[in-house]
C-alpha cells in the first residue's frame, strides 16, 4: 500500500508545472491559464465560435487568450491559436451554473461578455462581439468577429480615441456635406428650406394629393386598395459602416423609422414626418442621435405608420 501511494505521488508530481507571472495552473492540468481567466468545470456549457478575433484591427497572436464572463465572473476561456482549431475557427467554452463551484455562471437567456488577454504585456481588454447572442445550454452560435481596442472611449472616423470627427452624409470624415429636409445629401440648400409636397415632389408648393381639375382644384381620389406597409431587410447585413433600408407605404400619412437596441432603447430616429405614397430608401451610418458610433451588435429598425409596425433586425460589425 505504501509503495502504491508513493507511485501515485510521483505520478502527480510529474504532471505539476510552474506557471510564469500572470498565469496560474488550470485544474491541475498541464496548462497555464491567465490568472483572471480561471474558471471551474461544469456540465452546463455552450461553445461560442468566432470567425475572427482582432485587436486594433489586426488578428490576435497565437499566445493570446479569449475569456467569457457573466458580469465579473469568468465562465470560460481559450488560447486563441487557430492552428489548433478545426478549419482555423476556434470557440470559447461558456459554462453555466450546475453546482456551488459554479455560482454566478451563465443561465438561459443571459448574454455573456468577453475579454482579450494579450500575452505580450499580460493585459486584459474588453472585447466586443459583432453580435450579442444569449446563452443556452449546448448552444453553438457562430459569430463573425470579436474585436478589442486599447481606447477606453469611442474611436472617431479619423481613428482618434475620444475624437470628435464624424462622417457626413456623403461618408466623408469630418466633411461639410449634409442632408436637406428632403433627405438629399449635399444639395446646396444652405438654408434647408426644401421639403416634400403632398404628391411626393421635393421642394414644391403643390399641396394636392391626387389629380387637379382644369381650374387647378384638387380632386381627392378614393382609396381603392387597402393601405400597405413593408420594411425590407437592410443591405448590406451585416454592415460597416453604412446600411440601407427600403420601404413602401400605400397611403400618405405620418411615418417614423427608428433604430432601437435589443433592450428597446431608441438609438437613432431616421424619419419622423409626413410621407406620400411611394417607395423610400434611407441610410443609417451606425451612429446615435449624438453622432456617436454605436457598438457592434444587433439592432432593430422599426417603421411605424398609421398604427402599423414593420421591423427588421440589423447587425453592425466593426
pLDDT tens figures, 41-85: 999 999 999 999 999 888 999 999 999 999 999 999 999 999 998
Residue 158 maps to a domain:
no
- Last residue within a domain, chosen from 113, 148, 183: 148
In this predicted structure, the answer to whether residue 93 has a pLDDT above a threshold of 60 is yes
Domain count within the chain: 2
Residue 157 maps to a domain:
no
CATH code (residue 56) = 2.60.40
What pLDDT score was predicted for residue 117? 97
List C-alpha distances in Å: 165 to 126, 161, 171, 288, 295: 23, 10, 12, 14, 17
Q: Are residue 117 and residue 238 in the same domain, yes or no?
A: no
Residue 210 maps to a domain:
no
Cis status of the peptide bond prior to 88, with omega within 30 of 0: no
pLDDT band for 168, please (50, 70, 90 cuts): confident
Q: Are residue 132 and residue 251 in the same domain, yes or no?
A: no
Mean pLDDT of the chain: 80
- Last residue within a domain, chosen from 148, 170, 200: 148
Q: Average of pLDDT values for 254-280?
A: 89
Residue 9 maps to a domain:
no
This prediction has a pTM of 0.49
pLDDT band for 7, please (50, 70, 90 cuts): very low
Q: Are residue 135 and residue 36 in the same domain, yes or no?
A: yes
Q: Are residue 30 and residue 142 in the same domain, yes or no?
A: yes
Residue 200 maps to a domain:
no
What pLDDT score was predicted for residue 180? 58
- Last residue within a domain, chosen from 112, 131, 148: 148
Q: Are residue 115 and residue 24 in the same domain, yes or no?
A: yes
Higher pLDDT, 86 or 131: 131
In this predicted structure, the answer to whether residue 219 has a pLDDT above a threshold of 60 is no
In this predicted structure, the answer to whether residue 212 has a pLDDT above a threshold of 70 is no
CATH code (residue 297) = 2.60.40.4070
What pLDDT score was predicted for residue 198? 43
Q: Which of 66-80, 92-106, 172-186, 208-222 has the lowest mean pLDDT?
A: 208-222
Residue 189 maps to a domain:
no
Domain that residue 141 falls in: 18-148
Residue 135 maps to a domain:
yes
pLDDT tens figures, 9-28: 444 444 567 899 999 988 65
Amino acid at each position: 500500500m505504501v509503495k502504491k501511494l508513493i507511485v501515485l505521488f510521483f505520478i502527480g508530481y510529474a504532471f505539476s508545472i510552474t506557471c510564469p507571472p500572470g498565469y496560474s495552473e488550470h485544474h491541475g492540468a498541464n496548462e497555464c491559464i491567465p490568472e483572471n481567466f480561471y474558471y471551474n468545470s461544469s456540465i452546463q456549457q455552450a461553445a461560442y465560435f468566432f470567425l475572427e478575433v482582432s485587436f486594433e484591427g489586426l488578428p490576435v497572436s497565437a499566445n493570446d487568450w479569449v475569456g467569457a464572463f457573466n458580469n465579473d465572473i469568468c465562465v470560460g476561456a481559450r488560447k486563441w491559436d487557430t492552428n489548433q482549431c478545426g478549419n482555423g475557427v476556434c470557440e470559447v467554452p461558456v459554462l453555466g451554473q450546475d453546482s456551488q463551484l459554479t455560482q454566478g455562471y451563465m443561465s438561459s437567456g443571459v448574454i455573456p461578455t468577453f475579454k482579450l488577454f494579450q500575452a505580450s504585456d499580460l493585459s486584459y481588454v474588453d472585447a466586443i462581439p459583432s453580435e450579442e447572442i444569449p446563452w443556452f445550454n449546448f448552444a453553438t452560435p457562430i459569430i463573425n468577429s470579436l474585436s478589442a481596442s486599447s481606447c477606453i472611449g469611442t474611436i472617431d472616423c479619423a481613428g482618434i480615441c475620444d475624437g470628435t470627427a464624424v462622417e457626413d452624409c456623403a461618408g466623408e470624415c469630418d466633411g461639410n456635406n449634409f442632408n436637406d429636409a428632403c433627405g438629399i445629401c449635399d444639395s446646396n440648400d444652405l438654408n434647408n428650406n426644401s421639403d416634400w409636397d403632398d404628391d411626393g415632389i421635393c421642394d414644391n408648393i403643390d399641396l394636392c394629393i391626387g389629380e387637379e381639375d382644369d381650374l387647378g382644384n384638387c380632386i381627392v381620389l378614393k382609396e381603392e386598395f387597402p393601405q400597405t406597409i413593408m420594411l425590407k431587410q437592410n443591405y448590406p447585413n451585416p454592415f460597416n459602416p453604412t446600411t440601407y433600408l427600403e420601404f413602401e407605404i400605400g397611403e400618405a400619412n405620418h411615418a417614423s423609422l427608428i433604430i432601437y437596441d435589443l433592450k428597446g432603447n431608441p438609438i437613432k430616429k431616421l424619419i419622423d414626418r409626413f410621407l406620400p405614397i411611394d417607395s423610400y430608401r434611407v441610410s443609417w451610418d451606425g451612429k446615435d442621435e449624438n453622432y456617436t458610433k454605436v457598438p457592434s451588435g444587433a439592432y432593430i429598425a422599426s417603421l411605424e405608420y398609421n398604427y402599423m409596425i414593420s421591423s427588421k433586425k440589423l447587425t453592425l460589425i466593426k
